[in-house]
């Protein structure tokens, strides 16, 4: 697997996921990546719950822990935690086998994401919350928050002006972009930008360039 592909998600997956505790079936994956998976299931767990997972694929048997980081009507998103080097090798083996069986790379996730630490104010329904962007791409970002807004709700992001690098309220911040919350977990939430201004897009590019 090339470095370009190593962090991408593959779709078209139908792999049974079991509980590592009693080997009962808990769902079926619909996408799989080196960092986690999305599992179609009728069950629900609180955000932040860590589940012991068993993926008994034909090429290998993977036992890992997955933290619930996304909840939707059709299933849950799980981020792998505490992966060992051997775990990562097994995940690559499973992904290669799934691709050979007809799965495909999800091209929607080809956007480069950069680790940053940049101030932002997000607002929703009259609420204002100064915070920090910790991960960004041209399509979305990850924001620190102790009390994150609900998944699928919309927030507005406000960026600092040049003469006020850490604004405390909207009066000293620039307008930026509407954003839809696509996932949330303990201490943060992820958004996709909706109708961003030209200035906002330019600011995102600057963040990414500085991170590089």
Tell me the per-residue pLDDT of 11-40, one tens digit each, with 9 for 90 and over.
656 677 888 888 888 888 877 888 888 888
pLDDT value at 59 more than 70: yes
**Domains of the chain (ranges plus CATH)?**
10-109 (2.40.10.220), 114-211 (2.40.10.220)
What pLDDT sits at residue 110?
45
The per-residue pLDDT for range 169-195, each reduced to its tens digit, is 444 445 578 888 988 877 888 888 887
Q: Which residues contact 72 (CB under 8 A, 6 or more apart)?
A: 151
Region 57-64: mean pLDDT is 86
**Rounded CA gap, 32 and 75, in Å?**
14
State yes or no: pLDDT of 197 exceeds 80.
Answer: no
Work out the pLDDT band at 2, boundaries 50, 70, 90.
Answer: very low
Cα–Cα distance measured from residue 187 to residue 196, given in angstroms and rounded to the nearest whole number: 25
Instruction: Give the global pTM.
Output: 0.50
Is residue 39 within 8 A of residue 27, CB to CB? The reply is yes
The mean per-residue pLDDT over the stretch 76-97 comes to: 88
pLDDT band for position 1 (cuts 50, 70, 90)? very low
- Cα separation, 140 vs 111, in Å, equals 10
Mean per-residue pLDDT of the chain: 77
- pLDDT number for residue 128: 86
Residue 43 has pLDDT above 50, yes or no: yes
What is the structure's pLDDT at 209?
64
What are the backbone dihedrals phi and psi of residue 155, each rounded to the nearest 5 degrees, phi first?
A: -125, 170
Please tell me the distance from the alpha carbon of residue 158 to that of residue 131, in angstroms, as a whole number: 10
pLDDT at position 171: 42
Confidence (pLDDT) at 3: 39
DSSP string, 37-90: EEEE-S----TT-EEEEEEE-SS-EEEEEEEEEEEETTEEEEEEES--HHHHHH
98-143 pLDDT, tens digit per residue, is 777 776 665 554 445 567 788 888 989 888 888 888 888 777 888 9
Distances (CA, A) of 207 to 93, 126, 201: 34, 27, 10
Exposure string (b/e) for 118-128, b if CB count within 10 Å is 16 or more? bbbbbbeeeee
pLDDT at 16: 78
SS3 for 153-179 is CEEEEEEEECCECCCCCHHHEEEEEEE
**Is 107 exposed, middle or buried (CB count within 10 Å of its CB: 0-12, 13-18, 19+)?**
exposed
Contact (CB, 8 A) for 136 and 167: no
């Amino acid at each position: 697997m090339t470095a370009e592909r190593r962090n991408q998600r593959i779709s078209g997956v139908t792999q049974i996921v079991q509980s590592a505790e009693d080997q009962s079936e808990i769902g079926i994956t619909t996408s799989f990546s080196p960092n986690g998976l999305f599992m179609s299931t009728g069950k629900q767990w609180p955000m932040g719950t860590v589940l012991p997972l068993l993926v008994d694929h034909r090429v290998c048997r993977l036992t890992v822990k997955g933290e619930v980081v996304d909840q939707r009507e059709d299933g849950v998103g799980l981020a792998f935690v505490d992966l060992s080097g051997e775990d990562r090798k097994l995940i690559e083996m499973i992904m290669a086998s799934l691709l050979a069986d007809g799965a495909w790379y999800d091209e929607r996730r080809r956007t480069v994401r950069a680790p940053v630490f940049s101030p932002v104010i997000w607002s929703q329904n009259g609420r204002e919350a100064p915070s920090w962007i910790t991960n960004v791409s041209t399509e979305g970002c990850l924001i620190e928050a102790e009390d994150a807004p609900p998944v699928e709700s919309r927030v507005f992001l406000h960026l600092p002006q040049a003469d006020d690098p850490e604004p405390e309220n909207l009066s000293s911040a620039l307008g930026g972009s509407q954003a839809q919350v696509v996932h949330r977990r303990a201490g943060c939430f992820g958004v996709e930008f909706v109708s961003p201004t030209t200035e906002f897009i330019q600011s995102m590019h600057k963040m990414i360039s500085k991170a590089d």
